[in-house]
Amino acid sequence: MIWSSIIPTTIIFFCWRLWQGLIPVDVVIQRRIGSHMASRCQCCSAIETIHHLFIDSCITNQVWRHFSDIFHVTLWPMEGFQYRFQSWRFSGRSYKVNTDGCVKDGFASGGGIIRDSSGQCFCAFFSSYGECPILEAELRAIFDGIILVQRLVLSDLWIESNSTLAIHCITKGGRPWSIQATLSYIKYLLTFDRDTISHIYREGN
């Protein structure tokens, strides 16, 4: 979600560092240098941790509450930063992504179409993948679709592909080593209890 073109680059990298736990608060510095120096938050007497500064300090709480009232989001005091960040994704209509990959004259390409819950075309995408097997082209088309959906900050994703093998690899695991990287990225980006991925016959795709 953070890799969106509408977010300034400095904010994106700040969020990424925050996500990775790299913001140099006292506890992070202590861990880096292996020392137990004294730590005190600027706003209260608590130890300065990322969770405290960005989730539960008195000032941060006011900011979260201000925006939670605007966006009607429930706050849970003990949830971690990553969880809260993800749960604040825009919860609008659901979107369906139909993807397809192909190999012609040894060169692979793939693409797809994103439609909203009323069936209206939201956007379409297409990429060339150079020389690779058809299974990799199918997976890369799925991957491109997920990336695009995340950049557009859409939620409740439903992906359909006419490749039973690609769906099987994502949901059950795949063997060929050549697809492992793409497969790992897809699994990392998908939230299986919220997003849906399923097979559709070629005619319906």
Q: Which amino acid is at 124?
A: A
Q: Does 41 contact Zn ion by CB under 5 A?
A: yes
Of 44 and 63, nearer to Zn ion (C-beta) is 44
Supply angle C-alpha 169, 170, 176, rounded to 5.
Answer: 35
Residues of this chain, 52-81, that bind Zn ion according to CB under 5 A: 57
Alpha-carbon distance 141 to 173, whole Å?
Answer: 18
Of 29 and 44, nearer to Zn ion (C-beta) is 44
Of 41 and 134, nearer to Zn ion (C-beta) is 41
Q: Which stretch binds Zn ion (CB under 5 A): 1-9, 51-59, 75-83, 87-95?
A: 51-59
19 Cβ neighbours under 8 A, 6+ residues apart: 2, 81, 82, 85
Shortest CB 92 distance to Zn ion, Å? 34
Q: Which amino acid is at 43?
A: C
Q: Which of 46, 75, 113, 189 binds Zn ion (CB under 5 A)?
A: 46
Measure CA 155 to chain center: 10
Binding site for Zn ion (CB under 5 A): 41, 43-44, 46, 57
